[in-house]
Amino acid sequence: MTGRYSDQDVEHYDRPRRRTRPRTKERPVYDDAEDAVVVTVDRGRFTLLLDDRTVMAMKARPLGRKGVVVGDRVRVVGDTSGRDGSLARIVEVSPRTTVLRRSAEDDADAVERVIVANADQLVVVTALADPEPQPRLIDRALVAAYDAGLQPLLCLTKSDLADPDTLLSTYRSLGVPWLVTHKGGDLTELRGRLRGRTSVLLGSSGVGKSTLVNALVPDADRDVGHVNAVTGRGRHTSTSAYLLELPHDPGEERAWIVDTPGIRSFGLAHVQPEQLIEAFPDLDEMTEDCPRGCTHGEDEPECGLDEAVRTGQADPDRVESFRRLLAARSEPLY
């Protein structure tokens, strides 16, 4: 029997028996499927965490072109043993609570892709010095966070080299939470912020993100390519997003981080002003009388935000910062 035929046999075997189990909304099609979460994606192969074991899987044919991304909760059938060479099949993707997206950088038509599903927080890792902070990159990351409905957190590294005040003054009026850290420093506060959540870590090279990930998940060894403690197998590098669980004491809330490759690839062309301003309900309220199609930018002739600043209802710094984020959507990256 050729591989092709046996593939089809497996397909047949797993296909729901239509006569006995009609496809209805009330009844799951795959009663025997198991729940898992997507840890990473590599060339059409998915690494899943199922209970405490790592399972490799592919998409089942009925999913078609439907995307499956890191953080997705999925249902799998087939060989879920996790043994070497085993391959399970993803038959369902659960509805996502959040989606972190990016657009293709060079495409004004905003071909967007979901990078991470079901995260709650976006941790923007930035060095206070060496390399110098890049506020434009931070702004873009914040836009991505607000658009996705993720809580942003500024994690300022190398606090032994520079004071955070100057940088923070840029973000104070937006109310972005922040913390400082340095190599070998105490990570209690950061761990506290990660507890009970799934947090995406973003940061460009040299800011100390890998150091941070390795300190948070000591067995991860993201960069050196050792066998991973969570997945128990394989070399992996920082080229694709990767879900890792922080070690936790019994009874302690679990914490997950998604380590991502470079921040520079974050195209934002898909982000609409209406979505962005929803992250700032106080400002959103002041745009009710804006003319149709108002983008709330500083060049808009009759934007309610200007009126709100004039009448003292809105903090001018906050409006200005919001507009800086708005403009950051369409700025070139370099």
Residue listed under structure tokens 């914040």? 142
- Between CA 50 and CA 232 the distance in angstroms is 12
Among 128, 200, 303, 309, binds Zn ion (CB under 5 A): 303
> Is residue 287 close enough to count as binding Zn ion by CB under 5 A?
yes
> Is residue 296 close enough to count as binding Zn ion by CB under 5 A?
yes
- Residue nearer to Zn ion on the CB measure, 84 or 299: 299
Give me 144's structure tokens: 């991505």
Question: In the chain, which residue ranges form alpha helices assigned H by DSSP?
Answer: 3-14, 135-148, 165-169, 188-194, 209-216, 273-277, 281-285, 304-310, 316-328
- Residue nearer to Zn ion on the CB measure, 203 or 304: 304
- Between CA 60 and CA 287 the distance in angstroms is 46
Interface with Zn ion (CB under 5 A), residue total 5
Residue listed under structure tokens 């914490």? 255
Among 294, 298, 315, 333, binds Zn ion (CB under 5 A): 294
> Is residue 323 close enough to count as binding Zn ion by CB under 5 A?
no
CB of 273 vs Zn ion, minimal distance in Å: 8
Return the number of other C-beta atoms located less than 10 Å from residue 293's C-beta.
7
CB of 290 vs Zn ion, minimal distance in Å: 3
DSSP assignment of 18-60:
TTTS---SSS-S-TT-EEEEEEEEETTEEEEEETTEEEEEEE-
> Is residue 193 close enough to count as binding Zn ion by CB under 5 A?
no
Residues in the chain: 334
CB of 295 vs Zn ion, minimal distance in Å: 7
CB of 110 vs Zn ion, minimal distance in Å: 21
How many contiguous H segments (helices) and E segments (strands) does the chain have? 9, 13
CB of 334 vs Zn ion, minimal distance in Å: 30
> Is residue 290 close enough to count as binding Zn ion by CB under 5 A?
yes
CB of 292 vs Zn ion, minimal distance in Å: 10
Q: Are 120 and 197 in contact (CB under 8 A)?
A: yes
- Residue nearer to Zn ion on the CB measure, 267 or 273: 273
Return the number of other C-beta atoms located less than 10 Å from residue 112's C-beta.
17
CB of 175 vs Zn ion, minimal distance in Å: 20
Burial degree of 291 (CB within 10 A; 0-12, 13-18, 19+): exposed
> Is residue 209 close enough to count as binding Zn ion by CB under 5 A?
no
> Is residue 213 close enough to count as binding Zn ion by CB under 5 A?
no
> Is residue 236 close enough to count as binding Zn ion by CB under 5 A?
no
Single out the segment in contact with Zn ion by CB under 5 A; choices: 9-17, 86-94, 154-162, 293-301.
Answer: 293-301
> Is residue 215 close enough to count as binding Zn ion by CB under 5 A?
no
Interface with Zn ion by CB under 5 A: which residues?
Answer: 287, 290, 294, 296, 303
